[in-house]
Amino acid sequence: AQKITQTQPGMFVQEKEAVTLDCTYDTSDQSYGLFWYKQPSSGEMIFLIYQGSYDEQNATEGRYSLNFQKARKSANLVISASQLGDSAMYFCAMREGLEDDKIIFGKGTRLHILP
């Protein structure tokens, strides 16, 4: 079974609109961490945001926020006021457990921001 599922292979969004990128995860651990990374066409991987499983509040970093719904095992990324530069691949990832830092990635969502 996949550990990280991103159901949207591609999305088209009008500039300045908010965007929600879906991510669900599968783990039996109580302690885990969730990440979102951005990969522009240049290929570099850029860390965006992190949510720990025990964090009670949703993580926010500027225009990025993580809608963490623990019971549903959901960790959607919300980008407010989208910009043309947000066009990229977005990957959701998970680290399981306290000791194991292995991080597993989803297959990604390609986001296109339309002018």
Partner 1 sequence: GAGVSQSPSNKVTEKGKDVELRCDPISGHTALYWYRQSLGQGLEFLIYFQGNSAPDKSGLPSDRFSAERTGGSVSTLTIQRTQQEDSAVYLCASSLVNGPWEQYFGPGTRLTVT
Q: Give the footprint of partner 1 on this chain (CB under 8 A).
A: 33, 35, 43-45, 47, 50, 91, 95, 100-108
**Residue 62 in 3-state DSSP?**
coil
State which residue, 12 or 47, has the beta carbon closest to partner 1.
47
* Contacts (Cβ under 8 Å, ≥6 apart) of 35: 47, 48, 49, 50, 51, 92, 93, 94, 95, 103
State which residue, 46 or 84, has the beta carbon closest to partner 1.
46
Quote the least distance from Cβ 67 to partner 1, whole Å.
19
State which residue, 14 or 108, has the beta carbon closest to partner 1.
108
Quote the least distance from Cβ 95 to partner 1, whole Å.
6
- Long-range pairs for 51-55: beta carbons < 8 A, 24 or more residues apart: 51/75, 53/29
